[in-house]
Structure 1
Amino acid sequence: MDKNQIIIFDTTLRDGEQSPGASMSLEEKVQIAKAFQDLGVDVMEAGFPAASQGDFEAVSEISKILTKTIPCGLARSLKNDLDKCYESLKHSKHFRIHTFIATSDLHMKHKLQKTREEVLDLIKFSVEYAKKFTPDVEWSPEDATRTDSDFLCKTVELAIKSGATTINIPDTVGYATPSDYERIIKDLYNRVPSIDKVVVSTHTHNDLGLAVANALAGVAAGARQVECTINGIGERAGNAALEEVVMAIKTRNDLMPYTTNINTKKISPCSKLLSSTIGFPVQYNKAIVGKNAFAHESGIHQDGMLKNKNTYEIMTPESVGVSKSSLVMGKHSGRHAFKEKLIVLGYPNFDESKIDEAFKKFKDLADKKKHVFDDDIAALVDDELMNDKNVIKLVSLDVFAGTKGQKAVLELDVYGTISKTEQSGDGPVDSIFKGIKELFPHEAHLQLYQVHAVTEGTDAQATVSVRIEEKGKISVGQAADTDTLVASAKAYINALNKLIIKRKRTAPNEEFSTAI
């Protein structure tokens, strides 16, 4: 391998999915895996096969479809975990098993309740056992940045002797600073025999907002793999954001003369895909992929941009897949212009048969709004993409609200049968949700109801996010409409439609909390 080539190890589908509320269905994981392979991810941690039947199936399906990206599964230092990993990954010609165990005194005493000698025995066993299944074995000392340095070196040396080909150094709780993390990596290179024969990897969490800085410090110290996630999602405050790591390397190649296999023009579409799938909106001022990352409002900034874009932009929006298109969409726009706009917004393969319906909805929206923004169109199209999978559809909704009470009159198409109900509640949204539950009985509990405007103004389209839970299964629904109440009904129905798909899958038989 080129000594300046950085391996991008994406753990969005494993560590990222451990974000509360970020669970994904099998179909959603497969869609994301295909997009991330197209993005150029080198290794994809597809899940934790021993955690549940759903995770096992997801890793198995993903291992069947990946042809360029290496599929990887996570396993504790247990025979059953390692067996499950192999069984789920064996469909791929080349796969990786990633095994780990905690090495800090804090974790060993209070979590594992094991001695250092017992942990060393498990390291040797797990790596050697994984090696029977694949030559590509990664090992991680959980909570490495709070591990005694002498013991950390001892564990890493043992893992290498046992056959590990990648050594990952997790900052599990986001405790390190860049100088800390760089020192730890350099210490390993100076003290561990044969470490120059393996790939050293970073895995940094963002509890102090230092995940990306720590990852890059690790690279500067000699690490040649970075574990990261799209949009920086992950446990607690998240992981190092793939888009930030990659674009930092690309933009400051003068200080970091490294390369990656990432097609940066596909970063923004992947960010939007993940956001719409899990229902986590991207922070407006999020680096690289935020809505305002390439927006300029200040008069001084606008003047500088008009004279020379380099005055206030250190990278081009096009380099990360964001269009600078000045095409303004409105009620006079034609179908061809609408189709071109879909391509620009990251929907190049939008089903031709669905364009007419989406175009009609766009026209209806344009009649209601003075300005139709790109985000309006994206929200509309995302809603349309779910239509053919829906078994519950909104037919009509009338809401009566005011000081004298609230009432919702609702019609739904459920499995092809149209039914109607009238419900009252503690507000219009409560009335709507009660009506939906009356027409489609279920035991799901509402965990989150969130409204935000897609664009500005009193005629702005509202995007509503709904998260529901039923017997351990979490489903997230989103919908957009200029009428907030209509968007609320559609979002709740969208979540129920996703839940129906998840019901067909076996429920997890046990809970795992892994946070390497």
Structure 2
Amino acid sequence: MSANNNQASSFNHKKYRAFAPIQKTDRRWPNLVIEHAPDWCSVDLRDGNQALIEPMSPTQKLEMFKLLVDVGFKEIEVGFPAASAPDFDFVRQLIEENHIPDDVTIQVLTQAREPLIARSFEALKGAKKAIVHLYNSTSTVQREQVFKKSRDEIKGIAIQGAEWVKEMAEQQSETQWSFQYSPESFTGTEMDYALEVCDAVINVWQPTPDNKVIINLPATVEVSTPNVYADQIEWINDNISHRDSVRISLHTHNDRGCGVAAAELGVLAGADRIEGTLLGNGERTGNMDIVTMAMNIYSQGIDPELTLSDMDRIISTVERCTQLAVHPRHAYAGELVFAAFSGSHQDAINKCMSIDAEKRKDDPNAHWEVAYLPIDPRDLGRSYQQVIRINSQSGKGGVAYVLEQDYGIQMPRWMQVDFSPHIQAFAEKSEAEVGPTAIHEIFSNTYLNPVHAVTIDSYQLSREGSVDTLEAKVQAQGQHIELSGKGKGVLDAFVKGLSSAIGHDIVLLDYNEHALPSKVGSENEQAVAMAYVQISIQGQRYCAASHCDDIVTASMQALLNALSRSDVSVAKTAAISA
């Protein structure tokens, strides 16, 4: 048999069967619309963290927690403290160092096993408010093939776990407790049985309208179209006991690429609460992306009750903590989602934005109606310069090719995008072909030698544990100034020192480096390092570059060059000089 035939026989759809929808003729959710934001719960620090190749360090966890608080989450699942010492220690750190605001409730996950529940309560000792999230798997395949237990036995595990949770909570009465139960793999569980188990747990906890329990209904693995999930949620919503004392929560995954859609339809079907992660990190294809769902709600004129206006900070923090890059086409957050390369798209956007600007002179709340842009990029801290890109894709590629072939400069894509308008402006003014020499001169004047550049004189770096301390001297308009900063790595320390000096937060968005051929920057055979940076200050992005035989110096000088190109450069110089 040929190789092609072998491949064809292995790709066999007959070994799968369609998911059987529930029979429901009274569905109401298709006629509804989302009118307000659900309650949000971030699981970045638990479900998201456990899916990483390299789990977050304690420093990264704390940075992520602070971001989640600043974004506006009121419920944050912070770990599985009974599963690992790092998770336990992190929960203790949050409590003992008073990192948890009074209006934020932390949540921990535990299986329905007595030692694990006890360890979870130990981790939460001293917390003002906490949610204990209890789970056990109820699906048919798990019962029959993994646990080999009957329906009554699996329900008994849930009931016993709920009783332990209740008993241990009563022993730590100084904490305001909330309880949550998840029938794991809910979507693969018979609906009547899922309801039976949830009702049994509710009966143990005896909630009231003033002290509700959370019943979380996870699509642990996405197995059906979102409308089927919505039917399941609506059926549970209609039949669950003590509905006025229950918050129905959803936890969808993205195995079919429909995690956001399933969550949105689930809210239409009666859910009160959504669990997910920023930008969708999670097991397999990821958790439900809260940024996307919240921005979908925002685009419909509804307050998502999360603040996502500093998208650069969100992306930078998530990428740094998860070591996962955000795709340039990621909904709302991606670098290219507001970019128009097509001439007809650019023309339409230009005309619409001109009309929009006139409307807003009389009515700041005028409805947004701009072709190809579902929301105003400025709402996320993006500028219109990033939207309207006059040169075509091939134009940027041609400029990048010339610089690399003739000068060894390997511009990263984000700098190619930033550089294109400079070349086009020169071409339009000169009305002539732009040769390699002119391209390199424009590149140098723009990124390597900006006007009023602050320059690096010297630096000293020391390390204690995982923290780097940087002492640097820079020259600003003839004056020698000293800077100091601490961070995780030399660039992080330098950015913090600069931010303190200028009185504005600097976010390092992108960094690239490579070695230049020796003929480019040096007369000897030693390679010269080339560094490229992209920073954000007050929602505006600035790119720059520098080269030196010392990569650390090149990197810091590139940051200073980017700062010199910013709108705060004059204020910055005054601040440093003072």
TM-score category of the 2 structures, normalised to the smaller one:
0.5 to 0.7
Letter in 2 for 1:280: L
Q: What is the aligned counterpart of 1:19 among 51, 54, 69? A: 51
- Contact (CA 8 Å) 1:206, 1:239: kept in 2 or not? yes
Deviations 1:280-300 (A, max 9, x none): 111110001111122121111
CA distance in 1, matches of 2:517, 2:37: 62
CA distance in 2, matches of 1:32, 1:88: 19
For 1:130, the equivalent position in structure 2 comes to 165
Does structure 1 residue 65 correspond to structure 2 residue 99?
A: yes
CA distance in 2, matches of 1:319, 1:201: 29
Shift of residue 245, structure 1, vs aligned partner: 0.8
Letter in 1 for 2:377: P
SS of residue in 2 equivalent to 1:14: helix
| Shift in alpha-carbon separation, 1:305–1:398, aligned structure 2, 3 A | closer
Deviations 1:365-398 (A, max 9, x none): xxxxxxxxxxxxxxxx986115799xxxxxxx99
For 2:85, the equivalent position in structure 1 comes to 53
Structure 2, unaligned runs of 5 or more: 1-34, 170-175, 208-212, 354-369, 387-417, 423-445, 455-467, 478-487, 497-513, 519-524, 535-543, 556-578
- Taking only the aligned residue pairs, the percentage that are identical comes to 26
Q: How does 1:99-498 map to 2 (within 5 A)?
A: 99-131=134-166, 132-133=168-169, 135-163=177-205, 165-253=213-301, 259-309=303-353, 310-324=370-384, 330=447, 331-334=449-452, 384-385=491-492, 461=532
| Shift in alpha-carbon separation, 1:113–1:462, aligned structure 2, 3 A | farther
| Shift in alpha-carbon separation, 1:259–1:100, aligned structure 2, 3 A | farther
- Contact (CA 8 Å) 1:6, 1:259: kept in 2 or not? no
| Shift in alpha-carbon separation, 1:323–1:38, aligned structure 2, 3 A | farther
| Shift in alpha-carbon separation, 1:17–1:217, aligned structure 2, 3 A | same
Shift of residue 354, structure 1, vs aligned partner: 7.7
For 1:44, the equivalent position in structure 2 comes to 76
- Contact (CA 8 Å) 2:159, 2:200: kept in 1 or not? yes
- Contact (CA 8 Å) 2:469, 2:493: kept in 1 or not? no
SS of residue in 2 equivalent to 1:167: strand
Deviations 1:344-383 (A, max 9, x none): xxxxxxx9988976999xxxxxxxxxxxxxxxxxxxx986
For 1:341, the equivalent position in structure 2 comes to none
CA distance in 2, matches of 1:125, 1:196: 24
CA distance in 2, matches of 1:250, 1:90: 38
Structure 1, unaligned runs of 5 or more: 337-350, 361-380, 390-396, 402-407, 411-458, 464-479, 492-516
SS of residue in 1 equivalent to 2:324: coil
Letter in 2 for 1:246: A
SS of residue in 2 equivalent to 1:311: coil
Shift of residue 227, structure 1, vs aligned partner: 0.5
Deviations 1:439-495 (A, max 9, x none): xxxxxxxxxxxxxxxxxxxx88499xxxxxxxxxxxxxxxx9989x9989x99xxxx
| Shift in alpha-carbon separation, 1:197–1:266, aligned structure 2, 3 A | farther
How high is the TM-score relative to the length of structure 1? 0.64
| Shift in alpha-carbon separation, 1:160–1:481, aligned structure 2, 3 A | farther
Shift of residue 399, structure 1, vs aligned partner: 11
CA distance in 1, matches of 2:473, 2:39: 42
- Contact (CA 8 Å) 1:39, 1:267: kept in 2 or not? no
Letter in 2 for 1:294: F
SS of residue in 2 equivalent to 1:264: coil
CA distance in 2, matches of 1:245, 1:192: 26
| Shift in alpha-carbon separation, 1:399–1:314, aligned structure 2, 3 A | closer
SS of residue in 2 equivalent to 1:73: strand
| Shift in alpha-carbon separation, 1:150–1:321, aligned structure 2, 3 A | same
SS of residue in 1 equivalent to 2:274: strand
Deviations 1:73-93 (A, max 9, x none): 110001122122222222320
- Contact (CA 8 Å) 1:32, 1:274: kept in 2 or not? yes
Between 1 and 2, higher relative CO (CA 8 Å, sep ≥ 6) is seen in 1
CA distance in 1, matches of 2:300, 2:44: 25
Shift of residue 276, structure 1, vs aligned partner: 1.8
Which region of structure 1 is more displaced relative to structure 2, 258-267 or 292-301? 258-267
- Contact (CA 8 Å) 2:222, 2:256: kept in 1 or not? yes
Letter in 2 for 1:207: D
Shift of residue 127, structure 1, vs aligned partner: 2.1
Shift of residue 216, structure 1, vs aligned partner: 0.4
| Shift in alpha-carbon separation, 1:94–1:296, aligned structure 2, 3 A | same
| Shift in alpha-carbon separation, 1:72–1:333, aligned structure 2, 3 A | farther
| Shift in alpha-carbon separation, 1:205–1:184, aligned structure 2, 3 A | same
Q: What is the aligned counterpart of 2:110 among 75, 78, 82? A: 75
- Contact (CA 8 Å) 1:24, 1:277: kept in 2 or not? yes
Shift of residue 95, structure 1, vs aligned partner: 0.9
Deviations 1:54-84 (A, max 9, x none): 1111122234411132111110001122122
| Shift in alpha-carbon separation, 1:384–1:460, aligned structure 2, 3 A | closer
- Contact (CA 8 Å) 1:30, 1:61: kept in 2 or not? no
SS of residue in 2 equivalent to 1:169: strand
Shift of residue 111, structure 1, vs aligned partner: 2.4
For the aligned residues, what is the CA RMSD? 3.9
Shift of residue 106, structure 1, vs aligned partner: 0.6
How high is the TM-score relative to the length of structure 2? 0.58
CA distance in 2, matches of 1:269, 1:156: 39
CA distance in 1, matches of 2:190, 2:551: 53
CA distance in 2, matches of 1:239, 1:183: 21
| Shift in alpha-carbon separation, 1:62–1:294, aligned structure 2, 3 A | farther
Greater C-alpha radius of gyration: 2
SS of residue in 1 equivalent to 2:221: coil
Shift of residue 333, structure 1, vs aligned partner: 4.7
- Contact (CA 8 Å) 2:110, 2:120: kept in 1 or not? yes
